[in-house]
A and B are shown apart, each in its own frame.
Chain A
């Protein structure tokens, strides 16, 4: 079956099978490889995307459900070759090592700052609890989120 998706601002049509997840389609058919498959079970957050404006685990969304959906992945954050302030903040705070978890963390951060531009530590921990990092530790990630909030505050 063919579905239409709006991925990072572009409309695309793609042929999908009922047993494919949205993550499978993004990665294997559209070559959008920012979202990663860590666990495939909703537990690690590596596959986190914005789905119709809401942050979800794309490994648990069936591709056919997504027909007509608007999707934002980390690829869509970069505008005209310029990094998004959240991405800059992650770099400046050294908030990753291998980077496998980073696209998910950045998207969760974007969703958090969209709904709460000035989050407390608790707010950040609650919003990012579904994203696991196996190498960096969470302190630099917390700092990166705060720095991103400052940057975005200044931009406005």
Chain B
């Protein structure tokens, strides 16, 4: 039982959704895996819940090399990775991160759009999407706009969405084949938010070898380590270059202490994990 009164709506079109969302105290919902939990604890107390999962157009998924992967907001994480092999084949680091969200039951309800909209610094789908230069398509009664994911977050639980705006879809451009790893450290192996999460993606590993890194749970928002990426771009991966690269990744973070880990531990692991991932990928032989 949720300990307060609210009304619940399931619009079947976007225009109907915009109308209800314009009511005082209205919030959108997808899987409810964040929203219902927060409502039970009265951490949010909406007057109107607008369930978007009955809107057909939000269930579309498409992929082409030109347009990239387009993920409708209402697609659950399990639908995405089980029904669309392209996710694992073309965006392996994103695939790995989704598998690390909550439990199997959670992923039958949770959406990538909800993970982004919730805007937790710990959102596991976000670091890999940052490395793949994802964009968020935002719609409202007044029209639509595209926001770079890196510009979407403004703080813990905060983002650039204005009242009445919702996420329509996520667009992940396809550049070339990639390899990489999403390394998540949490207190228990499953069903726990990360103490730190590091996505390291290598775009075109046999060609231009563009190494990209983004991290969760080490700053007020998920962060991408652009300076480290610039530094390593045309360098050989040697003990000293990898060490400097890892330091620059670390310097992109500003961790705090919370129930899941101390600021010191996170700071240390922000440097260890990029090295460890490179080693596990077989690209570097040093200690990590």
Chain A-chain B contacts (Cβ-Cβ < 8 Å), number: 82
Residue of B with least CB distance to A63: B8
1/0 contact string of B24-60 vs chain A (CB within 8 Å):
0000000111001100100000000101010000000
Per-residue contact bits, chain B 80-116, to A (CB 8 Å; 1 contact, 0 not):
0000000000000000000100111110110000000
Question: Beta-carbon contacts of A70-81 to B below 8 Å, as 1s and 0s?
Answer: 000000000000
- How far is A9 from B27 in the complex, measured between Cα atoms in Å? 34
Given the complex of chains A and B, what is the CA–CA distance between A26 and B189 in angstroms? 31
Residue of B8, B36, B108, B189 near A54 (CB, 8 A) is B108
A127 within 8 A of B: yes
Q: Are B8 and A18 in contact (CB under 8 A)?
A: yes
Please state if A60 and B36 are interface contacts (CB–CB under 8 Å). Answer: yes
Q: Which listed residue, B10, B32, B36, B190, touches A129 by the CB 8 Å rule?
A: B190
Q: How many Å lie between the Cα of A24 and that of B102 in the bound state? A: 23
Return the chain A residue nearest B10 by Cβ.
Answer: A65
Residues 1 to 31 of chain A near chain B (Cβ within 8 Å) = 18-21, 24
Given A40-B40, A43-B191, is A130 in contact with B109 using a C-beta cutoff of 8 Å? no
**Cβ distance A29 to chain B, nearest Cβ, rounded Å:** 12
Could you say which residues of chain B place their CB within 8 Å of the CB of A61? 32, 36, 109
State how many residues of chain B have any CB contact under 8 Å with chain A.
Answer: 30
From known contacts A19-B2, A41-B40, A61-B32, infer whether A108 and B105 are also in contact, taking CB-CB under 8 Å.
yes
**CA A61 to CA B6, docked complex, whole Å:** 15
B7 at the A interface (CB under 8 A): yes
A129 and B191 within 8 A (CB): yes
- B1 lies within 8 A of chain A by Cβ: yes
**How near does chain B come to A52, taking the closest CB pair, in angstroms?**
10
A18-B7, A61-B32 are known contacts. Are A127 and B104 too (CB-CB below 8 A)? yes
| Interface range on chain A (Cβ under 8 Å from partner) | 20 to 34
Let me know if A48 and B105 touch, CB within 8 A. Answer: yes
Secondary structure class of chain B's binding surface, majority of residues: loop
A48–B32 Cα gap in the complex (Å)? 16
Q: When the two chains form their complex, are residues A19 and B1 in contact, meaning their CB atoms are under 8 A apart?
A: yes
B198 smallest CB distance to A (angstroms): 21
Q: Are B189 and A21 in contact (CB under 8 A)?
A: no
Is B5's beta carbon under 8 Å from chain A? yes
| Least distance between A138 CB and chain B CB atoms (Å) | 12
In the complex, what distance in Å separates the CA atom of A115 from the CA atom of B73? 25
Residues of B within 8 A of A54 (CB): 78, 108
Interface residues of B (CB under 8 A from A): 1-8, 10, 31-33, 36-37, 40, 49, 51, 53, 78, 99, 102-106, 108-109, 189-191
What are 8 pairs between A and B in contact, CB < 8 Å? A19-B1, A19-B4, A54-B78, A57-B106, A62-B51, A108-B105, A129-B104, A130-B103
Q: Apart from A41-B37, A42-B106, A129-B190, what are 14 other A-B pairs with CB-CB below 8 Å?
A: A18-B5, A18-B7, A20-B1, A21-B36, A42-B36, A43-B191, A55-B105, A57-B106, A61-B36, A62-B8, A62-B32, A64-B8, A129-B189, A130-B191
**8 A-B pairs with the lowest CB-CB distances in the bound complex, closest first:** A130-B103, A129-B190, A19-B2, A18-B8, A54-B108, A130-B105, A64-B8, A60-B36
